[in-house]
Structure 1
Amino acid sequence: MSENRQALVVHAEEAERIGLPHGGGFRLLADAVHTGGALGANRLSLGVGAAGARTHFHARSTELFYVLDGVMWCTLDGVTTTVAAGGLVSVPPGVPHSFGAAPGSGAELLVVLTPGVDRFGYFRSLGRVQHGLASFEDLLAEQERYDVHFL
């Protein structure tokens, strides 16, 4: 990890938006390249009852979800729970997890991965997969690069 001695400020209108078919989407806030490898961050909006991610794990990073609004469900190592606005979920490396918006609810999530991995390309690819413009196999080929390992 390289040392980054510069502060990062990202204004809402500057964040790249990747739309998802359910009306939600990603706002790409910070990639590892912007933070000297310290973290990556995005804001994820999930439509009512929308799936967020199928079961996967990160080998090198901890993933943190802070629920800004709505209710999310998450399955952590086979155990499912819901977390409402103001709640936090921290998933250590190696723990299989999946998540989405709870039935009948949308969810606004701040998602932070630390240490960071340059994953903006992953989110762009995921958007193409969600819109049927690419196949899921395209993501599978990049699991090691993006530290997203699907089960």
Structure 2
Amino acid sequence: MPQQPPPDPTREAVPHAGSATLVRAAHAEVVALAAGSAFHLLADGDGSHGGSAFGVNRLTLTEGADGARPHCHGRSSELFYGLGGAAQFLLGDHLTTVAAGDLLIIPPGLPHAFGAAPGSTADLLVVMAPAVERFGYFRHLGRIAAGQDTFDALLTEQERYDVHFTDATGWRRTRSRTH
């Protein structure tokens, strides 16, 4: 019989709800990014926390902050729901803005990048399905922001995290024109 992982004190079983998982806001791990931005890690696809079918995080970006350089996912769709502020997205070569209440779903294979819209903060709920292990990726980004690691070290982990970086020239040019 497979051994069960030890209970996670930051996750609660919901009585009479089967294998539902509840993550209290106070128990979410927060990964600090540059200039006050942060990831709030909610559910991972690594088999822990009940083996969630969804990878879920909340991303808060300070005014004008970049969220992710151009990349795509080979296996997962990515859903962004605007909780507050506005985020600017580059989808292929199309630029769009997602505001509070807007929903954007990016299919596998579509290169995309995003950041807080010029003059705005952004608060996004981000859901990946099917889930892949990503908490390690977000923690790595936190170490990069803190100067404890390099972006180049992350490049060897692209397949593991299903984050495949693409050319950032157009995104940098777009962001420099809008800031």
Mark yes or no: TM-score above 0.5: yes
Residue in 2 that maps onto 1:23:
36
Q: Deviations over 1:19-62 (max 9, x none)?
A: 11221201000001235351100000000000000000000000
Question: Which deviates the most, 128-137 or 98-107?
Answer: 128-137
Separation in structure 2 between the aligned mates of residue 120 and residue 146 of structure 1, nearest angstrom: 9
Alignment of 1:113-132 (within 5 A): 113-132=128-147
- Give RMSD over aligned pairs: 1.0
Q: Deviations over 1:106-141 (max 9, x none)?
A: 000000000001110000001111222100011101
Query: For the Cα contact (< 8 Å) 2:64–2:120, is it kept in 1?
Result: yes
Separation in structure 2 between the aligned mates of residue 36 and residue 17 of structure 1, nearest angstrom: 20
Residue in 2 that maps onto 1:6:
19
Residue in 1 that maps onto 2:5:
none
Moved segments of 4+, more than 3 Å = none
Aligned with 2:125 (options 79, 91, 110): 110
TM-score of the pair, normalised by structure 2: 0.80
Query: For the Cα contact (< 8 Å) 1:37–1:117, is it kept in 2?
Result: no
Q: Deviations over 1:40-93 (max 9, x none)?
A: 000000000000000000000000000100000001011001111000110000
Q: Secondary structure of the residue that 2:154 maps to in structure 1?
A: helix
Separation in structure 1 between the aligned mates of residue 61 and residue 41 of structure 2, nearest angstrom: 15
Separation in structure 2 between the aligned mates of residue 126 and residue 111 of structure 1, nearest angstrom: 16
Aligned with 1:82 (options 88, 91, 97): 97
**Partner amino acid, structure 1, of 2:25:** A
Q: Secondary structure of the residue that 2:74 maps to in structure 1?
A: coil
Separation in structure 2 between the aligned mates of residue 142 and residue 76 of structure 1, nearest angstrom: 23
Separation in structure 2 between the aligned mates of residue 96 and residue 130 of structure 1, nearest angstrom: 23
Q: Secondary structure of the residue that 1:137 maps to in structure 2?
A: helix
Q: More relative contact order in 1 or in 2 (CA 8 Å, sep 6+)? A: 1
Unaligned 5+ segments in structure 1 are none
Distance 1:80 1:35, change over 3 A: farther
Q: Secondary structure of the residue that 1:95 maps to in structure 2?
A: coil
Unaligned 5+ segments in structure 2 are 1-17, 167-179
Separation in structure 1 between the aligned mates of residue 19 and residue 82 of structure 2, nearest angstrom: 28
Q: Secondary structure of the residue that 1:22 maps to in structure 2?
A: helix
